[in-house]
Structure 1
Amino acid sequence: MKIFEEYTLGGKTLKNRIVMAPMTRNRADASGVLPDYAAEYYRQRAGAGLIISEATQPSAGGKGYKGTPGMHTDEQQSVWSRIADHVHKDGGLIYCQLMHTGRIGHTSFFPKEWSLLAPSAIPAQMNVSDAEGNDVPAEVPVAASREQIQEIIDDFASAAQRAVAAGLDGVEVHGANGYLLHQFLSYGTNLRTDEYGGSAAGRAKFVVDLVTEMACRIGPEKIGLRLSPGGQFNDMQKLDDDETYLHLVKELRPIGISYLHVLRRRSTPLHVKLHEGWGTGFIMNTGYMGTSELMDLNALVESDEADLISVGRNFISNPDLVARWKSGIPLSPWNEDTFYVGEEKGLIDYPAATSK
């Protein structure tokens, strides 16, 4: 099967084309530091061609969920260094996903003098999580100033530098699922009239500027970008337009980042155009389509609809997922009750059925 073949991405050789998708697990402490056993969690899954870590805030102001890790203090970086070492010792590769929640965050996560920032002062029509883990109505965000936008860009670039210094192989920029970058890309959440809004080029500019600065700091080959065009998660309500995404790809391709990671709800002409405009290094996630069977995923690679496939929940309950698929061993079911709570339980206690 082609999905089990090696693939070169960002100058690194992946041992297969199966990527562990980023999945929030909420095990970090209040200061955004992951527990030591997180290194074992990622090590167990080193059979993936590439691991993309759980969403990680690049700054305290980017946090929007209780229990998510950060990449902006020395203590946080130290644990990520242990994680990188564990994954590498088992022959794996790992990128850290960097995410700012934007309007989906809550002011209880940071000092009172700080603001909840977004492209425009448009609240999400939904409940969000506060620092205690309670569901509360979304707050009205503050439209970020140009200076604040530059600070966020610097936060991402500095976090990327920390990730590389920690020994991680690269970073994935989270531009999907209704979080800050997606909010800038959408005409429904970005009503700006300055250079960061008002047109496809304007809506794409924040992401382009951010990725450009990160590439200057750590090199483009260590950067990936995740997008979810048309995604409705976090009250996005189909507020995307094809022109913005096609312009974004046109601007980013010359920079030479390692991959584009797209969440696909269904096959659309836009996804085909994005792949054509991007070229190689195209990762597809089909979770929203309900497609998770090996034969279906391999067919997407065989038909060149994608170069690599990212898989989420099957990796939670099957740390040796790739080896199981190769050997035809049935997969273990996951327990949703421990997705976001449980400390070690539900994180590192799923047994392997193979020796990898």
Structure 2
Amino acid sequence: MRDQFLFSPLTVGPYRLSHRVAMAPLTRMRAGRPGDIPRALNVEYYSQRATPGGLIIAEGSPISEAAKGMPATPGIYSSNQVIGWRTVTDAVHAVGGRIFLQLWHVGRISHSSHQPGAALPVAPSAIAAIGNAFTATFERVPFETPRALTTSEISGVIDSYQKAARNALEAGFDGVEIHGANGYLVEQFLQSRTNVRVDAYGGSIANRTRFLLEVTRSVAEVWGTDRVGVRLSPFGIANDSGEVEPLPLYSFAIHELAKLNLAYLHLIEPRASGAGQAEVDRKDAPTASGLFRPIWPGVLIAAGNYTPASANAALSDGWVDAVAFGRLFISNPDLPERIRKGEPLNAYNRATFYGGEAEGYTDYPRLGVAALES
């Protein structure tokens, strides 16, 4: 039977999913401005991709103004953003879908044009990323050297995660995912290249993992652990990230997270690190899900250059419990149905990934009504 594992039910936390084709969190830079507020266009986009019993992990949403690093990314720190997101969650629920929100702090992968008072971005340590930032006006300029957070400031950042978690609950989400991947703030604390602190949040692996665990526990105080997920990219190199010896660090982090009985762990496969910015397929890279499956007893979601066939094979082998598709979900709003029926997939247009309006966002064709009913 074609894709039999992709279309078997799965329990994630308190929710019973009807299939295992999840939508990955995807930065699209199309929130309403000023205010970075979800709008009618975003409602249409998410409702197009919702399915009965399907899981959507909504795009990364800055937990505070200081957490922002890219223009027109919908936040979760203002009352108007909460109201805007509520229109999205209501639309997804009307279809029968489930939707988690990804809580996001970019750390050093920001620019002073996004920051309150045009201040420098913050990070664990004052180490600039190599590459170019997005300014508030969509320009690309070299990253600035961030300001290192003081020890006393870290608790305030953790409080911002908890406030954002409360806002997500008010906005009607079914759960939240903590973004700990792709070179953003949580990963900056985890990795020795970006964390040279000498306090309780730096140095040893246990200390560098402290921020991730404290954020996770703080968010779980709002949601309960069974409605919180964490996303990691153990072998990733996006946004000038990358740990020299990732196995000891991530084995420890995942082992500690496993004690919390979370809704799921979401791993980005290294073959796709940086795939949002360019076509990447590192075929000789290790398999994160295969390596860490033995120490993760709960639901494991994997993402990264999966095809329907390779996703079904990974499920069959027991490496993963669900697969999150990104670029294929951009260009195929009815991706689960296309996979189930073996229909051709639309090609995506990379030029329309970031910013803009309906083009490359809500105008990709769906299967006909007759095909859906057959």
Going from structure 1 to structure 2, the CA distance change for 1:113 and 1:43 (only over 3 Å counts) comes to closer
- Equivalent position of 2:251 in the other structure: 246
Aligned residues between the structures: 352
Shift of residue 273 of structure 1?
4.2
Partner of 2:344: 330
- Report deviation, 1:114: 4.0
Amino acid at match of 2:299: G
Q: 1:225 aligns with which of 221, 230, 236?
A: 230
For residues 1-356 of structure 1, the aligned pairs below 5 Å read: 1-28=4-31, 29-47=33-51, 49-112=54-117, 114-239=119-244, 241-265=246-270, 268=286, 271-287=289-305, 291-292=306-307, 294-355=308-369, 356=372
1:185, 1:240 within 8 Å by CA — same for their partners in 2?
A: no
In 1: Cα distance, 2:368 partner to 2:56 partner: 19
Gaps spanning 5+ residues in structure 1: where?
none
Uncovered stretches (5+) of structure 2, i.e. residues with no partner: 272-284
1:242–1:270 CA contact under 8 A, matched in 2: no
Q: Which amino acid aligns with 2:67?
A: G
Q: Is the 8 A contact 1:186 1:240 kept in 2?
A: no
Identity %: 39
Q: Is the 8 A contact 1:246 1:273 kept in 2?
A: no
Q: CA deviation at 1:272?
A: 3.3
**Coordinate RMSD, CA, aligned:** 1.6
Q: CA 1:201 to 1:238, structure 2 compared with 1: closer, same or farther past 3 Å? A: closer
Q: Secondary structure at the match of 1:136?
A: strand
- 3-state secondary structure, aligned to 1:4: coil
Contact 1:230 1:240 in 2 (8 A): no
On the 8 A contact 1:187/1:240 being kept in 2, the answer is no
Counterpart CA distance in 2 for 1:204 and 1:72 is: 25
| CA apart distance, 1:237 | 4.3
AA in 1 matched with 2:13: G
Letter of the 1:323 counterpart: E
1:164-195 Cα distance to aligned partner (Å, 9 max, x none):
11111011111000111111110110011111
Q: 1:354 to 1:16 in 2, by over 3 A?
A: farther
1:224-271 deviation line (CA, Å, top 9, x unaligned): 110001211111144453222111112211211101000112563764
Conserved 8 A contact 1:21-1:51? yes
Q: Matched residues in 2 for 1:240 and 1:72: separation?
A: 35
CA distance in 2 between partners of 1:240 and 1:62 (Å): 28
Q: CA deviation at 1:332?
A: 1.1
Give 3-state SS (helix, strand or coil) of 2:160's partner: helix
- Mean alpha-carbon deviation: is it higher for 268-277 or for 313-322? 268-277
Which residue identity lines up with residue 302 of structure 1 in the other structure? S
Return the offset for 1:147.
Answer: 2.1
TM superposition shift of 1:111 = 2.4
Q: Distance in 2 between matches of 1:354 and 1:161?
A: 39
Task: Tell me the equivalent position of 2:281.
Answer: none
8 A contact 1:230–1:239 mirrored in 2: no
Give me the whole-angstrom Cα distance separating, in 2, the residues matched to 1:240 and 1:312. Answer: 27
Does the CA-based 8 Å contact 2:112-2:118 persist in structure 1?
A: no
What SS class does the counterpart of residue 30 from structure 2 fall into? coil
2:120–2:145 Cα contact (<8 Å) kept: no
- Of 270-279 and 138-147, deviating more is 270-279
User: Whole-Å Cα distance in 2 between the matches of residues 102 and 120 of structure 1?
Assistant: 10
How far apart, CA to CA, are the structure 2 residues paired with 1:67 and 1:183? 23
Q: CA–CA distance in 2 between the matches of 1:177 and 1:30? A: 27
Distance 1:269 1:343 in 2: 36
Q: Quick one: distance in 2 between partners of 1:194 and 1:127?
A: 29
Structure 2: distance between partners of 1:354 and 1:264: 33
Distance 1:240 1:155, change over 3 A: farther
Compare 105-114 and 59-68 and name the one that shifted more.
105-114
Secondary structure in 2 matching 1:260: strand
